[in-house]
Amino acid sequence: MSDINKVVLAYSGGLDTSVIVRWLQDTYNCEVVTFTADIGQGEEVEPARAKAEALGVKEIYIDDLKEEFVRDFVFPMFRANTIYEGEYLLGTSIARPLIAKRLIEIANETGADAISHGATGKGNDQVRFELGAYALKPGIKVIAPWREWDLTSRETLMAYCAERNIPVDYSGGKKKSPYSMDANLLHISYEGGMLEDPWTEAEGDMWRWSVSPEQAPDQATYLELTYRGGDIVAIDGQEMSAATVLAYLNKVGGANGIGRLDIVENRYVGMKARGCYETPGGTIMMPAHRAMESICLDREVAHLKDELMPKYASLVYNGYWWSPERRMLQAAIDESQHFVNGVVRVKLYKGSVTVVGRKSDQSLFDESIATFEDDAGAYNQQDAEGFIKLNALRMRIAADKGRSPL
């Protein structure tokens, strides 16, 4: 029926991707290789092996990618202070280029001629997976079952399983969430169910990683974050790996009610979608990094970064991580981070993150110039007169020519 002999599938072990394994085998009469990524989703990934074996899969990849995920994807994104549409810290978006990269690597290792994923035709993930795959292996074939099959609901998926004797107990004995959820070390997302009505408040028991601000401790928690080259390398003086930093911040942030977000975002495919997100560690990292930059970066460099950030954010959100323009922006951002070294002290209290201190050997803050006390001649205040008049010159000329703004 087709020239596809082997397919590498991004496999979670859940209902959708288990159906996809059998559907690929039936539809394309091909061998399926499964790839399951451990990027800190908080659940055991090893059970996916037994599920894949039960479906007749011979080549099974289960990879621990947590360090690579945070070191090579999350941290570079946070060096840019990246935030989409003023709120979203891009937790799902930033995981997709890593998964696409590993899919292509496995395809090369196994001689597969196609990759496949379980993203629907309505969402952003199909774009992210496929743009990444094509950038890394232009001739790769991509099979997106949700764009091909007629299985359009959970009920039809269950019927498919019943017809083909596919095990359907994927809950591990736990009550199934009514939401579509995606988790990694940076965040956990919730969509669907009652959240499809943007007027309806999310249920309190939906959240998995954080207590509500009302239930958070009455005493504040203080952290000292050590930066090197724009990345956190230690917390309270304790050196940590990238993934350990984020996991620790998630734990402490969640315990203090930090990181909950409820937004309606604009998807790349054109529709608006309501999603709720928990990003405790990222919510701490964002203001802390900006605080470190506030004393270490030149003013114009900092302002230019802020101008570039929305473009960078849209590239990540829309799936262009592997594009030349994102890599160009990254080079500029990373160049700016050489002197972003020092310590930031943050205060966590009932859902809020407050920067309460920052220090650096590379600080550009000069107390002798900025002081409100006697500066001993470090700054000549009379210089400001000419500075102001020159900057007002074009407006003074326009006013003299009858172009007064009043």
According to the model, what pLDDT value does residue 155 have?
84
Same domain, yes or no, for 112 and 149? yes
DSSP 218: S
DSSP state letters, 13-34: SSHHHHHHHHHHHHHH--EEEE
Together in a domain, 29 and 97: yes
Residue 168: predicted pLDDT: 67
Q: How confident is the model at residue 172 (pLDDT cuts 50, 70, 90)?
A: very low
* Catalytic position from the list 22, 79, 96, 274: 96
Residue range of the domain that includes 202: 180-297+339-359
Q: Parallel, antiparallel, or unpaired: how do β-strands 272-278 and 188-191 relate?
A: antiparallel
Active site includes 96? yes
43: pLDDT strictly greater than 90: no
| Active-site choice (12, 16, 38, 128) | 16
Predicted confidence (pLDDT) at residue 30 exceeds the cutoff of 70? yes
The torsion defined by the Cα of 238, 242, 247 and 250, in degrees rounded to 10, comes to 90
Contacts of 86 (CB under 8 A, 6+ apart): none
**Is 192 a member of any domain?**
yes
Q: Catalytic pick from 22, 116, 125, 189?
A: 125
Q: State how far the Cα of 67 lies from the Cα of 73, in Å rounded to an integer.
A: 10
Q: What share of the chain is helix, strand, coil (3-state, %, to 5)?
A: 45, 20, 35
Residue with tokens 């095990």: 167
- From 49, 71, 180, 314, the catalytic residue: 180
Do residues 253 and 280 touch, judged by C-beta distance below 8 A?
yes
Are the C-beta atoms of residues 310 and 82 closer than 8 Å to each other? no
Does residue 150 share a domain with residue 264? no
Say whether both 153 and 185 belong to one domain: no
Residue 64 annotated as catalytic: no
For 327-340, write each residue's pLDDT tens digit.
999 999 999 999 99
Q: Are residues 204 and 104 in the same domain?
A: no
Q: Is 150 a catalytic residue?
A: no
What is the pLDDT, as a whole number, of residue 173? 47
Nearest CA-CA partner of 10 in 72, 75, 97? 97
Classify 71 as helix, strand or coil.
Answer: helix
| Residue 361 bears catalytic tag | no
